[in-house]
Amino acid sequence: MKDGGIPPAARERVENLFLENHRTIEPKALDRILLSTDPMELSRSILSACSEVLVTEALVAPYVEDPVDTALPPSFERLQDGYAPHLKHQSPGDGYHELFTDRYTRLFRLLRGRPALKNLLPIKEGPRHLGEEFSVVGMVRDVRFTERSHHLLLTLDDPTGEDSFLLTKDHPQAKETFLHDEVVGLHVWRPKDGRIALIKDVVRPGVPIPREAKKSKVDSKVLFLSDLHVGSKMFLKESFAELSAFLNGNSEQPEIAHQIHHVVIAGDLVDGIGIYPGQEKDLAITDILEQYRELGKFLSTFPRRLNVIAIPGNHDAVCPAEPQPPLPEVFSDLLPANVKVAGNPSLFAIDGIMVQAYHGRGFDNIIPSIPGARYEQPTEVMKHMLSMRHLSPTFGQKIPLAPLPRDGLVIDPLPDIFVTGHTHTAGIERYRGVTLINASAWIAETEYQRMRNVKPEPAQAFLVDLARNSAAKLDFTVH
């Protein structure tokens, strides 16, 4: 016996399980797993939910119960920034090749081993398996209907080649929407005469196993906000003052404010300059530096004890292509010292709970592509994102993708809380163990929103109790 009473055989079994799945596990991460009540079952859950090649202690921590049942001090840990810059000079074409290869590889890892995807083959080998059932994982390249019978024809590719597969119109999954460049698994049957293979089942990365919502060992709360748009004439100063008063304990329930340790702001911190046609008439502050200086003044009214995490959005002064880097120092230095800036999207842990924060411009790509999807129902669109395990897969639409070596819009590992903004609407829902939040806005309705037929729901904040796994919407509207 060694390592505090852990049998060597147990350590070897867990190590071998990770090796068999082509993963490397850090020693500290392995130690955390071996302290659990069922290390093998916990390892399988981690392998199913996480596709990272290197399994670190930070990735394992959210899945492991703390053996000491005592309250811990509030904590914040960066896990993954969506933005990962190139370390070498290369052409945009080579960059996009790396991006899509990374996307396919990581989502393939999530899909392989699924029971529904039996006899998994590279796409180029499929035509040789006449009269057989087999499975493939590929990126959707084309979606169209056959002329006569209106069956759905999906063309997928992987690193070995491409092929088309038929989903008959009477199949239960024929009504699903398939987005270009999403990665899916297909279980198919190819007739003996070599005709096109018929799809028997479609498998998306999704959330394969509904999970118990994780609870923190720390008795703390986090407040989620988005879309401040400081610098706009429509910025809701009075409502924001009410929010600040609440956080400082100057409300009917001061005890709640003292339990809040973290504030997360999901993008569009300022209104920006030249973001949409005619924006200049909507601006109270026409200098971008002054907008961030004003933002700093407003955030300085929050208690300094709070840990404030802020990511950019499409109105902020960073590269518009996604993933977006954190605010540069010229702007972040104007913010209070307790404000931490991160990229868009960003994954971090607060008091042991994993939070995926994404501003949400992917809504502009996904909503027009899915029948019935609406800005007024943001959590329904977020479910589609979780189903694809991607925030905005389709290349060449409204949102430019940065040609980076790693696809920072892949959702992996699965978070405990998934927060977005951008829509200026408000929504919260629990989905298969993940808390979905679309975190409202602090700006009144603009002419641009009326033109796009988007009805905002401003001045709402979402309070999540991390220890009790409960949530509430708080209304700071000033009438």
State whether 385 and 248 are in the same domain.
yes
Question: Percentage of the chain with pLDDT > 70?
Answer: 95
Query: pLDDT per residue over 338-393, tens digit each?
Result: 999 999 999 999 999 999 999 999 999 999 999 999 999 999 999 999 999 999 99
Three-state SS letters, 368-414: HHCCCCCCCCHHHHHHHHHHHCECCCCCCCCCCECCCCCCCCECCCC
Structural domain contains residue 115 = no
In the chain the first and final C-alpha atoms are separated, in Å, by 68
Does 115 have pLDDT greater than 70? Answer: yes
Q: How confident is the model at residue 296 (pLDDT cuts 50, 70, 90)?
A: very high
Does 467 have pLDDT greater than 90? Answer: yes
Of residues 446 and 69, the one with the higher pLDDT is 446
Q: How far is CA 324 from CA 75, 195, 314, 315, 321, in A?
A: 25, 45, 9, 12, 6
State whether 227 and 193 are in the same domain.
no
| pLDDT in the model for residue 315 | 97
State whether 297 and 174 are in the same domain.
no
- List the 76-81 sheet strands across, edge first: 76-81, 346-350, 353-357, 417-420, 434-439, 426-431
Structural domain contains residue 178 = yes
Q: What is the CATH number of the domain that holds 187?
A: 2.40.50.140
Packing angle of the helix pair 27-34, 8-20 (nearest 10 deg): 120
| pLDDT in the model for residue 6 | 53
Contact 67, 373 (CB under 8 A): no
Query: pLDDT per residue over 180-228, tens digit each?
Result: 999 999 999 999 998 899 999 999 999 988 778 899 999 999 999 999 9
Q: How confident is the model at residue 65 (pLDDT cuts 50, 70, 90)?
A: low
Cis, bond preceding 368 (omega within 30 deg of 0):
no
Q: How confident is the model at residue 148 (pLDDT cuts 50, 70, 90)?
A: confident
| pLDDT in the model for residue 32 | 83
Residues of the domain holding 405: 221-475
State whether 46 and 149 are in the same domain.
no
State whether 26 and 150 are in the same domain.
no
Q: What is the CATH number of the domain that holds 356?
A: 3.60.21.50
User: What beta strand segments (E) does 301-386 contain?
Assistant: 307-311, 339-341, 346-350, 353-357
CA distance 138 to 160: 10
Mean of all residue pLDDT scores within the chain: 91
